[in-house]
Amino acid sequence: MLTFDRNMIFRINEEDKKNVLMFLAEKLEKKGYVKHSYINAILKRESKYPTGIQAGKLGVAIPHTDAEHVIKNGIAVGILEKPVQFQRIDNPDVAINVNFIIMLALKQAHGQIDVLQNITNFIVQEKVIQNILNDNNLDHVYNIISKNL
């Protein structure tokens, strides 16, 4: 079961990918979802296996790492005020501008496929993601994401 806490949605005003990833990973750690090792693991994995996805006109990233760094399932959502460059998952030589991040903490490796499929189905709804990016009411954003995950 994937836990999605309303308090794990953040508007982030940061232009550096590493800082954004560290911010979200630290929030997951403070809430008890991940071990301290998760922070370095997420940075290392992102450098080897990028997670940027071009979803229509929007860039989305779904960073995650190995289950050994996770205490319990959860996600952190970052809505970026300014786009941050991520390498594409399907072509790491190409960078895209990302405005929306769903950071995963998954305890069971075999559960990643189902969760990633649900997220992929969600992020291709370009109009829905655009509404999230434009909505300053995080309760409303939480409701939209909850319905779709």
- Look over the chain and give the mean of its residue pLDDT values, rounded to a whole number: 92
Provide the pLDDT for residue 108.
Answer: 81
For the record, the structure tokens of 109 come out as 């490796």
pLDDT digits 0-9 by tens, 81-136: 999 999 999 999 999 999 999 999 998 866 667 777 888 888 888 899 999 999 99
Helices (H), the chain: 17-30, 37-48, 112-123, 126-134, 138-148
